[in-house]
Amino acid sequence: MSPLIRIGIAGACGRMGRAIASVVDEHPDVVLGAVWEHPQHSQVGQRYHADSERVVAGGPDGLESDVDVVIDFTSPSATVAHARWASAHGVAMIVGTTGLEPEHQQILDAAVQHIALVQAPNMSVGVNVLCQLVAEATRMLASDYDIEILEAHHRHKVDAPSGTAMRLLDVIQDTQQDLSPRFERHGVIGAREDNEIGIQTLRGGDVVGEHTVLFLGHGERVELTHRATDRSIFARGAVRAALWVSSQSSGRYTMANVLSD
């Protein structure tokens, strides 16, 4: 029998961290190896939960012997610090953090010279199917239809547009390269440009995540939508990616690679 894959969770006490831990606890092929938070977090030094033997660490230092893959849904600054740590210790990595800037991506580029890393702004299997459907619809419709992207998230989300909306934009532009994004409309803006993609952001309540790509034609429109109602879909996708990446050679991978096997 293959050994269990030991999962380390960065930002373990947050909403996504807890969701990932729940999936790990129920999965037959993985085990919780270590959990950590930033050093000033109130739960550092305490048991992760009442039934757990794991203590929340104030960072990953010293935990490398307990971890095969680290799952990170934290912040850009924390993610790049974890990438440096993982690279130094040969620990594979799953990155679901959004809002990464080019300088953060450069650090991940350096890390994947030494470790296998799966990066995706959305680990949901359904969202990654949506990306493939959007690419196909763009090929078939873009020349005669206007394209708009609409995304909605809970009131606490700090980056906009969402990483998934930006991924959908990339998919569309990879397929139809003369299209350009427009992130804001206000006032007398004139008629819509032919090569424009509008990207609209909604924030409020407890919306887990909704993304719609609209293809608007004369007399009809096509809408492709994914609605998340439970964070566990992202956690399940991340654990699936962790199982897959544990046997891969160094390099940067996406959920498309994970789902193709």
Catalytic residues: 153, 157
Phi, psi dihedrals of residue 151, rounded to the nearest 5°:
-135, 150
Residue type, 114: H
Q: How many CB atoms lie within 10 A of CB 204?
A: 10
* E strand segments, the chain: 5-10, 30-36, 69-72, 92-95, 116-119, 146-153, 180-182, 196-203, 209-216, 221-228, 251-253
C-alpha 31: how far from chain center: 21
- Cis bond before residue 161 (omega within 30° of 0): yes
Contact, 228 vs 208, CB < 8 A? yes
